């Protein structure tokens, strides 16, 4: 269960006869995920002639699109729309642990908003009023234009002209813990703070701002980081294409101990295939396993357990009515898809290949849509600096040319790295590392926006040791990153041979995909995973938030509101902040460690406009934290996957700066206003969106701050010392990307002790996202995006 999933959702359905006023009124209820699966051409090459339904064509009973914040006891509703009066609230029962349960299938009249609410998947609501007919007409006319004058009030402003706000909040109602960082000083303006920080950072050239973590242990040796043995029979087993192997455990152990390095380099082991020795495997045949959390990690863990066929019982325990966690897609009545969380998956690296292989296994091969290396979305990554969009250099030649906002050719950063002195430390921030090795601009316009695009986080706090460990390790070993990567290239993680030979992976290589998604939205991946897991006789308990855990002999007992579950093993794919509460009765120390991992909240606004409005096609743009813009970045969704003659954008905001910029509890309308202002000012899009969707993802991305590796290692060591039959998996520990989460779940399911090894995969997104093309040392044959 994810924090957000505890919130539940509902759909607003206006009374008959009123909805025809809305141009975005769907002709049939919107769906999420596979239930709204699209045909190939629908999502990715929707006929250009397909009109956005006009107001007059709307059937009277059509539900309206848009989402509404869910008023929960733990998270005060940030929208007037639901705060207005008590009667507007959904009928809920609040249980002992402050968990909101929605009474499904009920419709209630919402007097304040002239409509009735009905529960349903997709958390949709639209609150019409008399003025709605004026909103969002499809035809272009004067009224569609937003005022150009920046000071002028835009027609979306709250209190002026009431808009049919389509909003939704996904809140952590189990643990209303806010870890967003407040500004260091309430009195200091953001820019003053930034100026001071920049001054200090510019001076800091050879001194690392190493911040040793209180529990810091000596850095792990890279070479110990995950390579053990490999047995082809075992690999066959985990791949599901062989019957249960007979393994000579002693021989396997000898091989593991004697030749770790050789095996790793020459045979491309799949570390996930380890630990399936006969004894343990035989043992597992009778074991029951609870998988906590039905996000992508929990489902993947259940899938791999099912594939191993080694457990007597597998139960996925999910706290909400839906699966998939932050992966969430809405399919509208006209088949237009909005993504509210992750939307594309990387191909690069073993973790990338593993997800592709999983997609194939799930029967999704012909639903997969790849974006090739030469595609504008793959090539054109932009930065918004000084109110202007700057394309990041995307060729080797461009590295030797001065390209704004960089004041010098980027190649000079490499030269600087060759000369900058090595600084010995245990860990430091990403910003500090890049600043001292590659210079201030590389930090300011490179790692800073990248950290916002991946972690929605602050590069000045994220850990280099954890996120770009290999770069730091080679610096420590060889004194320079470039030199070190070159000298150390043999030790780079090799592409897994078995994964490389997967048909879908081969296709991705052939077609040089960089990223991919699934027709109808990424949530269809979740649905396919769910179906697969159910076929394997895994039980899925929904609406069953985990309240606590206790030990019973060698077993663990999972407590939910309704029942208890005693199992031999537990794989927790819960976010660490939730798991921290669950594990408290078993180990307060473990609970404290887990609660120390911070999270950030992201505001997501999907905007849809008629026609093609993007002048320079690309993936979208990121905004460095030094810029005054109030958003993290904007994604050009329909540049990546066109959906007919419309432009769909996603504006991302908040993250580390959420509270500082928007307060604890901003209204969803205010976030919509922020998004529209950004799009108007930066992209000069002045027409009204025809459809939009606002969502706040509370505590959605774990922040791997300086010392994170030590925290995770300590947590896992404690579990091992206490001999708890528990594995920690998911985005709190081994990487925040979907690929990383799936790999982490696979490791947990196969019993391979998770370690910081898997964090190396995090280097890949940095390259994918880099201000520079991948240097030769990361151009592995498994990386089709880099040829």
Residues between 522 and 581 that touch ligand LM7OVKF4 (CB under 6 A): none
Q: Is 343 in the site for ligand LM7OVKF4 (CB under 6 A)?
A: yes
Q: Which residue number, 128 or 655, has a Cβ lying nearer to ligand LM7OVKF4? A: 655
Q: Which residue has the tokens 């269809």?
A: 524
Which sign, positive or negative, has the C-alpha torsion 138, 652, 511, 526?
negative
**Which positions ≥6 away from 781 have C-beta within 8 Å?**
495, 500, 509
Cα 198 from Cα 202, distance rounded (Å): 6
Residues between 575 and 614 that touch ligand LM7OVKF4 (CB under 6 A): 602
Burial 718-749 (b: 16+ CB within 10 A, else e): ebeeeebbbbbbbbbbbbbbbbbbbbbbbbbb
- The answer to whether 36 touches 524, Cβ cutoff 8 Å, is no
**Which positions ≥6 away from 609 have C-beta within 8 Å?**
646, 647, 648, 649, 685, 687, 689, 690
Q: Is 767 in the site for ligand LM7OVKF4 (CB under 6 A)?
A: no
Element (H, E) at 381: strand 381-385
Q: What is the Cα 600 distance to its own chain's centre?
A: 12
**Which positions ≥6 away from 333 have C-beta within 8 Å?**
25, 26, 27, 28, 29, 30, 53, 62, 65
CB burial of residue 146 (10 Å; 0-12, 13-18, 19+): middle
Residue 704 per-residue DSSP state: -
Stretch that binds ligand LM7OVKF4, among 32-40, 184-192, 207-215, 731-739 (CB under 6 A): 731-739
Phi, psi of 30 (to 5 degrees): -70, 155
110 bridge partner residues = 115
Cα 351 from Cα 367, distance rounded (Å): 20
Q: Is 344 in the site for ligand LM7OVKF4 (CB under 6 A)?
A: yes
Q: Is 632 in the site for ligand LM7OVKF4 (CB under 6 A)?
A: yes
Q: Which residue number, 565 or 742, has a Cβ lying nearer to ligand LM7OVKF4? A: 742
Q: Which residue number, 163 or 696, has a Cβ lying nearer to ligand LM7OVKF4? A: 696
Q: Is 736 in the site for ligand LM7OVKF4 (CB under 6 A)?
A: yes
Q: Determine which residue in the list 100, 382, 590, 768 makes contact with ligand LM7OVKF4, applying CB under 6 A.
A: 768
Cα 787 from Cα 778, distance rounded (Å): 11
Q: Is 126 in the site for ligand LM7OVKF4 (CB under 6 A)?
A: no
Q: Determine which residue in the list 341, 521, 644, 707 makes contact with ligand LM7OVKF4, applying CB under 6 A.
A: 341
Q: Which residue number, 474 or 604, has a Cβ lying nearer to ligand LM7OVKF4? A: 604
Q: Determine which residue in the list 36, 633, 644, 770 makes contact with ligand LM7OVKF4, applying CB under 6 A.
A: 633
Helix ranges (DSSP H) in 629-760: 637-640, 658-662, 668-683, 708-721, 738-749
Q: Is 635 in the site for ligand LM7OVKF4 (CB under 6 A)?
A: yes
Rounded to the nearest whole angstrom, what is the least distance from the CB of residue 735 to ligand LM7OVKF4 in the complex?
A: 7
By C-alpha distance, which of 485, 515, 501, 495 is closest to 639?
A: 515
Q: Is 452 in the site for ligand LM7OVKF4 (CB under 6 A)?
A: yes
Q: Is 730 in the site for ligand LM7OVKF4 (CB under 6 A)?
A: no
Q: Which residue number, 10 or 769, has a Cβ lying nearer to ligand LM7OVKF4? A: 769
N residues, the chain: 787
Rounded to the nearest whole angstrom, what is the least distance from the CB of residue 525 to ligand LM7OVKF4 in the complex?
A: 13
Rounded to the nearest whole angstrom, what is the least distance from the CB of residue 75 to ligand LM7OVKF4 in the complex?
A: 18
Q: Is 620 in the site for ligand LM7OVKF4 (CB under 6 A)?
A: yes
Rounded to the nearest whole angstrom, what is the least distance from the CB of residue 761 to ligand LM7OVKF4 in the complex?
A: 8
Q: Is 518 in the site for ligand LM7OVKF4 (CB under 6 A)?
A: no
Binding mask 650-669 for ligand LM7OVKF4 (x = CB under 6 A): --x-----------------
Q: Is 769 in the site for ligand LM7OVKF4 (CB under 6 A)?
A: yes
Q: Which residue number, 456 or 687, has a Cβ lying nearer to ligand LM7OVKF4? A: 456
Q: Is 732 in the site for ligand LM7OVKF4 (CB under 6 A)?
A: no
Q: Which residue number, 31 or 344, has a Cβ lying nearer to ligand LM7OVKF4? A: 344
Rg (CA), the chain: 25
Stretch that binds ligand LM7OVKF4, among 74-82, 167-175, 286-294, 629-637 (CB under 6 A): 629-637
Stretch that binds ligand LM7OVKF4, among 16-24, 179-187, 227-235, 736-744 (CB under 6 A): 736-744
Phi/psi region, residue 163 (left: phi>0; alpha: psi -120 to 50; beta: rest), is: beta
Phi, psi of 726 (to 5 degrees): -135, 135
Cα 96 from Cα 252, distance rounded (Å): 50
What are the DSSP calls for 546-580, one per residue?
Answer: EEEEEEETTEEEEEESS-EEEESEEEE-S-HHHHH
Stretch that binds ligand LM7OVKF4, among 339-347, 414-422, 424-432, 556-564 (CB under 6 A): 339-347
Helix ranges (DSSP H) in 143-231: 190-203
Binding-residue total with ligand LM7OVKF4 (CB under 6 A): 29
Residue with the CB atom nearest ligand LM7OVKF4 in the bound state: 737
Q: Is 53 in the site for ligand LM7OVKF4 (CB under 6 A)?
A: no
**Which positions ≥6 away from 487 have C-beta within 8 Å?**
474, 478
Rounded to the nearest whole angstrom, what is the least distance from the CB of residue 92 to ligand LM7OVKF4 in the complex?
A: 26
* Rounded (10°) angle between helices 523-535 and 296-308: 30
Rounded to the nearest whole angstrom, what is the least distance from the CB of residue 531 to ligand LM7OVKF4 in the complex?
A: 23
Rounded to the nearest whole angstrom, what is the least distance from the CB of residue 191 to ligand LM7OVKF4 in the complex?
A: 21
Cis before 593 (ω within 30) = no
Q: Determine which residue in the list 14, 115, 342, 484 makes contact with ligand LM7OVKF4, applying CB under 6 A.
A: 342
Q: Is 622 in the site for ligand LM7OVKF4 (CB under 6 A)?
A: yes
Cα 467 from Cα 761, distance rounded (Å): 9
Q: Is 468 in the site for ligand LM7OVKF4 (CB under 6 A)?
A: no
Rounded to the nearest whole angstrom, what is the least distance from the CB of residue 387 to ligand LM7OVKF4 in the complex?
A: 17
Pull the structure tokens for residue 193: 């703070």
Rounded to the nearest whole angstrom, what is the least distance from the CB of residue 154 to ligand LM7OVKF4 in the complex?
A: 23
Binding residues for ligand LM7OVKF4, per CB under 6 A? 326, 341-346, 452-454, 456, 515, 602, 619-620, 622, 632-633, 635, 652, 697, 700, 736-739, 765, 768-769
């Amino acid at each position: 269960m994810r924090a957000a999933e505890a919130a539940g959702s509902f759909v607003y359905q206006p009374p008959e006869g009123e909805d025809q006023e809305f141009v975005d009124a769907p002709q049939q209820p919107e769906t999420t995920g596979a239930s709204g699966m699209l045909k190939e051409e629908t999502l990715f090459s929707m006929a250009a002639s397909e009109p956005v339904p006009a107001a007059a064509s709307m059937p009277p009973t059509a539900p309206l699109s848009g989402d509404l914040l869910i008023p929960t006891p733990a998270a005060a509703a940030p929208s007037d729309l639901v705060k207005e009066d008590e009667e507007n609230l959904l009928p809920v029962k609040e249980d002992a642990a402050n968990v909101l349960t929605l009474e499904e299938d009920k419709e209630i009249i919402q007097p304040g908003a002239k409509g009735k609410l009905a529960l349903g998947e997709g958390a949709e609501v639209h609150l019409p009023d008399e003025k709605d007919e004026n909103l969002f007409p499809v035809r272009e006319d004067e009224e569609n234009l937003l005022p150009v004058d920046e000071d002028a009030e835009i027609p979306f402003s709250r209190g002026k002209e009431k808009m049919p706000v389509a909003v939704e909040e996904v809140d952590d109602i189990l643990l209303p813990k806010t870890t967003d960082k407040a500004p260091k000083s309430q009195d200091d303006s953001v820019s003053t703070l930034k100026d001071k920080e920049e001054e200090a950072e510019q001076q800091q050239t050879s001194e690392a701002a190493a911040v040793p973590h209180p529990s810091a242990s000596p850095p792990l040796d890279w070479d110990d980081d995950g390579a053990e043995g490999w047995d082809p029979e075992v690999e066959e087993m985990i791949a599901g294409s062989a019957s249960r192997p007979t393994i000579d455990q002693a021989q396997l152990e000898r091989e593991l101990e004697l030749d770790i390095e050789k095996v790793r380099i020459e045979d491309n082991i799949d570390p996930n295939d380890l630990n399936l020795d006969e004894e343990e495997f035989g043992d597992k045949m009778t074991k029951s396993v609870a998988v906590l959390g039905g996000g992508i990690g929990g489902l993947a863990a259940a899938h791999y357990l099912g594939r191993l066929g080694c457990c007597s019982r597998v139960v996925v325990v999910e706290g909400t009515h839906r699966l998939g966690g932050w992966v969430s897609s809405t399919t509208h009545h006209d088949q237009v898809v909005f993504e509210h969380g992750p939307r594309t998956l990387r191909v690069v690296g073993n973790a990338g290949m593993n997800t592709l292989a999983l997609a194939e296994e799930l029967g999704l091969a012909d639903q997969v849509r790849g974006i090739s290396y030469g595609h504008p979305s793959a090539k054109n990554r932009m930065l918004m600096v000084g109110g202007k969009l700057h394309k990041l250099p995307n060729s080797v030649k461009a590295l030797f040319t001065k390209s704004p906002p960089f004041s010098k050719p980027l190649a000079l950063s490499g030269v600087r790295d060759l000369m900058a002195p090595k600084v010995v430390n245990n860990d430091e921030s990403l910003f500090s590392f890049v600043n001292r090795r590659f210079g201030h601009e590389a930090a300011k316009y490179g790692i800073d926006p990248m950290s916002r695009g991946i972690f929605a986080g602050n590069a000045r706090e994220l850990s280099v040791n954890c996120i770009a460990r290999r770069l730091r390790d080679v610096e420590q070993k060889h004194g320079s990153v470039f030199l070190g990567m070159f000298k150390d290239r043999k030790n780079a993680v090799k592409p897994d041979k078995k994964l490389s030979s997967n048909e879908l992976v081969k296709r991705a290589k052939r077609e040089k995909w960089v990223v991919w998604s699934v027709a109808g939205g990424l949530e269809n991946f979740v649905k396919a995973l769910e179906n697969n897991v159910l076929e394997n006789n895994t039980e899925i308990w929904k609406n069953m938030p985990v309240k606590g855990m206790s030990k019973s002999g060698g077993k663990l007992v999972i407590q939910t509101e309704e029942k208890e579950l005693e199992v031999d093993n537990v794989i927790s794919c819960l976010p660490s902040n939730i798991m921290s509460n669950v594990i408290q009765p078993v180990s307060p120390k473990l609970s404290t460690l887990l609660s120390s991992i911070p999270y950030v909240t992201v505001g997501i606004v999907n905007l849809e406009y008629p026609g093609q409005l993007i002048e320079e096609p690309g993936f979208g743009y990121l905004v460095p934290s030094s810029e005054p813009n109030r958003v993290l970045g904007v994604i050009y969704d329909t540049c990546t996957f066109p959906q007919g003659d419309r432009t769909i954008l996603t504006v991302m905001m908040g993250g580390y700066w959420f509270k500082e910029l928007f307060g604890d509890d901003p209204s969803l309308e205010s976030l919509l206003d922020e998004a529209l202002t950004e799009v108007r000012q930066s992209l000069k899009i002045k027409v009204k969106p025809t459809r939009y969707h606002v969502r706040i993802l509370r505590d959605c991305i774990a922040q791997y701050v300086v010392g994170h590796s030590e925290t995770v290692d300590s947590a896992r060591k404690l579990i091992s010392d206490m001999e708890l039959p528990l594995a920690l998996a998911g985005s709190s520990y081994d990487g925040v990307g979907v690929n990383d989460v799936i790999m982490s779940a696979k490791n947990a399911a196969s019993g391979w002790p998770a370690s910081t090894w898997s964090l190396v995969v995090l280097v890949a997104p940095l390259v994918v996202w880099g201000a520079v093309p991948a240097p030769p040392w990361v151009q592995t044959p498994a990386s089709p995006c880099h040829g």
